[in-house]
Amino acid sequence: MSILVDRTTRLVVQGLTGREGTFHALACRDYGTRLVAGVTPGKGGLVHEGIPVFDTVAAAVAKEGANTSLIFVPPAAAADAILEAADAGIGVIVCVTEGIPTLDMVRAHRALQGRPCRLIGPNCPGLISPGKAKVGIMPARIHRPGRVGVVSRSGTLTYEAVGQLTERGIGQSTCLGIGGDPIIGTTFVDALRLFEADAETDAILMIGEIGGTAEEEAAAFVKAHVTKPVVGFICGQTAPPGRRMGHAGAIISGGSGTAAEKMGAMRQAGITVVKSPAEMGEAVARLLATGTRATRSAAKAPVPRKRPTAKTGGSRQEPPRKGNRPARTAGKSGTAGGRRTSRRTNRRG
């Protein structure tokens, strides 16, 4: 199994005839995705690279049975393209476009509420179910079919994580880039819910960023609902507060959204948190070997400090001494039996 896209996916590319649309559409088709149509207003009736082009998404759905859309439309028109796909009955809408005005996405997000469709992105690399279908811009060659689900706000870190997994012989069920904008269609919680329900996903790798509260909400969901082992990483650990780092959503504001806060929430939820992206693949491999979740730090009791004992040479638990100076051994300063015997010392005592 996989989530959202598989061999039944019938893809329509909005903005097919543009340079980026053509390049990535052909890459999806070469991977084996069933690319059935393209949409460019005013170019309906053309055949582009062997793909029929329509003026509207509705026409592509009616004539070719498209059920998934991949959007390469300029930012000013991208929100309308999302809504057009939803109006046509597309079930999975993937929007790669970066730089969509926030107010446009506010309106689009509100309009999609309650509709039988799922939006991935915007400003995302899309998703891939290795060996089945690719709907996005990720390099297909680094992926391998398997049983680890990957979800990330960062596109390039998704590729890094997948590369580490594949090098270790660990395949992926589905790799999903949810996007780094403040307003996105599918959240960490949505993806985690899908992976938890997928019988052929055994573990989950979650890659977050500074800014917002998406990772904290995901941690709370993992603690309450996820039974599968989860590895997490937060990028932007050295970012100064108030500085926007790359993605529009990666900004710390009001003292919240820091990497430390997110990592702490994830640890308390039982997520295995790594501090470096270089450790992601290794951490997943360890979890798969043990098949267990990390111990929730909130449930860990403090361990009393152990002090050596003179009688046994071993250790015992005792509270720290208060007001007692450590014993001194005899030496040149005139000590006997651990006490100072000089007149000056006795006066102070």
- Would residue 254 be called left, alpha or beta, if left means φ above 0 and alpha means ψ between -120 and 50 degrees? left
How many angstroms from the chain centroid is the CA of residue 90? 25
Point out the catalytic residue in the list 24, 109, 143, 247.
Answer: 247
Cα atoms in the Cβ-side hemisphere of radius 13 Å centred on 26:
9
- Give the C-alpha separation, 270 to 183, whole Å: 27
Question: Quick check: is 247 catalytic?
Answer: yes
**In this structure, how many other beta carbons lie within 10 angstroms of the beta carbon of residue 275?**
11
Assign 255 to helix, strand or coil: coil
Dump strand ranges (E) for the chain: 10-14, 34-39, 47-48, 51-54, 68-71, 92-95, 118-120, 126-129, 133-136, 145-152, 172-177, 203-209, 230-235, 272-274, 306-308, 315-317, 335-336, 339-340
Active site residues: 247
